[in-house]
Amino acid sequence: MGDRAEIAIWAAASPFLPHALGTIDQAGVPSVVLPDEPDGAALATAAGAAALVVGGADVTRELLSSLPGLGLVVRAGVGVDRIDLVAATDLGIVVTNVADYATHEVADHAVLLMLAATRRLGHFQAAGRDGADWLAVERPPVLRLHGSRLGVVGLGRIGSATALRARALGMEVVAHDPFVGPDAFDQAGAVAVAFDELLATSDVVSLHTPLTADTRHLLGRAAFARMRRNPVVVNTARGGLVDTAALVEALDGGIVRAAGLDVLEGEPDVSRHAALLDRTDVVVTPHVAWYSQGSEEQLGTTAARIALDFVRRGVRPPALNPAVTPS
């Protein structure tokens, strides 16, 4: 469909493509699918596109500048830390996301990781498979979750949903989020606390905050040093929120009891984290907390509909770069 394309899709191996493409095709809107690594010739086919639907690839100033007709970038997902928001703003391009998909999946997965790490699933699975006498299996200390305290960092949709699930398990919930009001804490059944208090008093710390320049390595050596209850650390948000080297040190030193991680720094290439991946006190899943068949379909169709509303009806979605002046 070449230069006539009104919507470009750059899935870059993200699985939402069939649902997005099907929704756009059904609407009869010309589109083009870019290859995983688009070169100049590929980008030329999308030169007239007014909207770009992207997965988790790096959206750079160079790429944005190569699409002169672009007015909207739709992140098929939540995090926009790999999109150059400054460049988009400079170029008059609105950036938005699909903020309300997979809320329940990620909250379920956060609880899954909390349970697996707390109950030392990795250790007991290994012990149960090596042919040893089950009565002689080593039993490391395991925290009783009922009555313990969960500290939620970031009380948006997913953090709130995780808090409600934890309360159903009989946990006390505290939370830190300077960007939400008292009603959010009330609805989640969480007590608002300062970040330092959360670190010092929580038995489990679960991260649900975006990755920004301010939150990168939010859990680093200084934060781990402020922990007093040997917590379990859970991260289903972004790998860069945790300083991986500092986490390994905290696990080795007994500052952190165990960890449940769906995201790691530098993913999808996680080869440098071999020392972490081989531990039985760490449960790792490959960034699949968002996934179910339902969430995959919702992601693709919703991202496509946002793009369709923009190119056909001029509907501007909420901007994640609010200073933008559309060109």
* Per-residue pLDDT in tens (0 to 9) along the chain, 327 residues: 444 889 999 987 678 899 999 999 999 999 999 999 999 999 999 999 999 999 988 999 999 999 999 999 999 998 899 999 999 999 999 999 998 899 999 999 999 999 999 999 999 988 877 777 888 888 999 999 999 999 999 999 999 999 999 999 999 999 999 999 999 999 999 999 999 999 999 999 999 999 999 999 999 999 999 999 999 999 999 999 999 999 999 999 999 999 999 999 999 889 999 889 989 999 999 999 999 999 999 999 999 999 999 999 999 999 999 999 876
**Which residues are catalytically annotated?**
238, 267, 287
Which residue has 């970040």 as its token pair?
A: 195
The helix (H) or strand (E) run that includes residue 159 is: helix 157-168
Question: What pLDDT shows up at residue 146?
Answer: 98
Grouping H, G, I as helix, E, B as strand and the rest as coil, residue 293 is helix
Q: What values do phi and psi take at 263, rounded to 5? A: -135, 145
Q: Give the span between the Cα atoms of 74 and 314, in whole angstroms.
A: 14
- pLDDT for residue 1: 41
Q: How far apart are CA 293 and CA 296, in angstroms?
A: 5
Rounded to an integer, what distance in angstroms lies between the CA atom of residue 10 and that of residue 322? 23
Q: What share of the chain is helix, strand, coil (3-state, %, to 5)?
A: 40, 15, 45
Res 2: pLDDT = 42
Question: Beta-strand (E) ranges in the chain?
Answer: 7-10, 31-33, 51-54, 72-75, 94-97, 149-153, 172-176, 191-192, 204-207, 232-235, 258-261, 282-284
- How many CB atoms sit inside 10 A of residue 17's CB? 18
pLDDT for position 12: 75
> What number of other Cβ atoms are within 10 A of residue 98's Cβ?
24
Instruction: Give the SS3 label for residue 219.
Output: strand
Structural domains of the chain, ranges and CATH numbers in brackets:
2-101+293-313 (3.40.50.720), 103-284 (3.40.50.720)
- Per DSSP, 70 falls in state -
Q: How far is 327 from 317, CA to CA, in rounded Å?
A: 15
